[in-house]
Amino acid sequence: MFRKKNTLLIGCLLSATFYLLSCDNKPKQENKRKTIDYIKQIPGINDSIPVEVADKGEVLIAYSDCYTCHKEDQRSVGPAFRDIAKRYPVNKVYIEMLAHKVIIGGRGSWGSAVMDPHPELSFEDAKTMVTYILSLKK
């Protein structure tokens, strides 16, 4: 009788031990990724953009290869056009700087993506295209 009670007691203790060890008392961790703002807005005064210039830039972009790597509202290979507009002020200095970047290509401003050069574009067309992109600023 002593052996049956002893065996029963050991069985209960082992069951209780396995039960306690198998319980996960750790707090649940949520797998929420922190979003990192990659836009790094540059402060500056925004000039007005004539509608006809923005419209011409939209047409030039439609006939170019820009949409291969860029989308208007979402990040693709390169940044979204609206994100570019959000980062840069609309003024002559930034329009010319970005037009040069379109023509000679670039890297590093938006992470590891590389923008191919577009040497066939005239500087004026590149400025018009950049003006359209910056016109998307909300």
> How far apart are the C-alpha atoms of 117 and 86, rounded to whole Å?
23
From the centroid of its chain, how far is CA 77? 10
For position 10, what pLDDT does the model report?
A: 74
Q: Does residue 86 lie in a domain region?
A: yes
Q: Does residue 28 lie in a domain region?
A: no
Give me 72's structure tokens: 């208007």
- pLDDT tens per residue across span 7-56: 777 776 667 666 666 666 666 666 666 655 668 899 999 999 999 999 99
Residue-range definition of the domain harbouring residue 127: 51-134
Which positions make up the binding site for heme c? 66, 70, 115
Which positions make up the binding site? 66, 70, 115
Distance in angstroms between the alpha carbons of the first and the last residue of the chain: 84
Q: Does residue 43 lie in a domain region?
A: no
**Dihedrals φ, ψ of 87, to 5°?**
-75, -45
Quick check: 110 pLDDT over 90? Answer: no
